Amino acid sequence: VIAERHGRQRQSERNAGAHQFRTGRSPLPRVLVGAGISLALALPPMALGYDGLGFMLENFLAGLLLFATAHEYWRGREEAPAPLQGVALLYSLTAASFVLCAAVLGWDGRLVLGHAPSNWAEDLSLIIVIASMTGIGGLSLALNQGRLAQHHRRNALTDPLTGLLNRRALFDLHGEAPVGAFMAVVVFDLDGFKAINDEFGHAAGDAVLKVFAEELAANLQPTDAAARLGGEEFALVLKRTLPEKVEFAAERIRASFAARHIETETRPLSCTVSAGYAFGSQDGISFDKVLSAADKALYAAKRGGRNRVLAATLRRAS
C-alpha cells in the first residue's frame, strides 16, 4: 500500500513537472491537487479492507495522471517536435499499461486481495514502465541540453541591459544578404546621454536606455528587428516598407520617447533622441553600407539641432 501511495505521488509530480517544463510556472499547486484527489478516492477502500478495489483505483488514477502528463508534453511539442512527441508517446504507453492493470483487476472482480496484485498485466506494465522511464530519461536529458544551448545562444545574441538584439545578432540576421529597395535601416542615438550619466549617474543612464528600448520594442512590427548597437546607439530594420512609413515610425518613436518622464534617485528627467534612416537599392547593396548611410543621416540630424529624424541621401530606387 505504501509503495502504491508513493507511486501515485510520483505520477502527480511527473504531471506537474511536465506542466512546469511547458509553462515555466511552479508545479506545487498541481502536485497538491493531483495527490489530494488520488488520496481522497483511493484511500477509503484501502482503509475499509477492500484492497482489490483500492488497487484498481490506484492504477486507474495513475493512468489518468500519466495521460495528462503525456498531454502536457504533446502541447509543448513545437519547441522540439521529435523528442517531445517521443516523451508523450512513452508516457501514453505507460499510462495505458496502468489502465490495463486496473481493467484486469476489474475483470477479475475480487474486491479483497490480501496481497499486492500479481498477474500478466502487472508483469507487462513493469516491463513497459522500465523501458519507458529509461527512454524518457534519455530524451529529457537531451531536451535539457538543447534548452541550455538555446539559452546560451540567446544570451550571446541579446543585449543584457535592454533585452534587444545586440550588434552581432543584427549582422547575423542581415549582414550577408543584399538590402533591397523596400528595406530600410533607422539608426537612433540618445541626445546628451553623457551629460545624463555625469549629472544623474550610470544607474539613471541605464534607466534611460531601458525606457528607449521599451519604446522601440513597442513600435516593432512582426517583420522588424531592433538592436542596441552599443552605448546609446540603436538600430531598427524594417522590411517591405516605404519612405513615408519609415519616417512616420521613426517620428512616432522620437516623440513618444521625448514625452516620457524617467524616475531617478534625485528627480525625474526626460531625454530626446535623434535618428537617421536609409533604404537599400533596386539592385541590392550591402547592409553595412545602408547602416553607414543611416548613421551619416543621424549625425546630420545631430548637427541640425537634435531631437529630429532625417533621411539619408542614399534613397530607395524609384
Catalytic residue among 78, 232, 244, 263, which?
232
Q: Which grid coordinates belong to 249? A: 515610425
Instruction: Provide the whole-model pTM.
Output: 0.61
| Number of CB atoms found within 10 A of residue 268's CB | 9
Our answer to whether residue 78 is catalytic in this structure is: no
- Which residues in 191-232 belong to E strands, given as ranges? 225-230
Domain ranges for the chain, please list them: 2-156, 165-311
**What is the reported pLDDT for 26?**
52
Check whether domain 165-311 has CATH 3.40.50.1110, yes or no: no
180 burial class (0-12, 13-18, 19+ CB within 10 angstroms)? middle
Which residues of the chain have a pLDDT value below 50? Answer: 1-6, 8-9, 315-318
pLDDT for 199-233, tens place per residue?
999 999 999 999 999 999 999 988 999 999 999 99
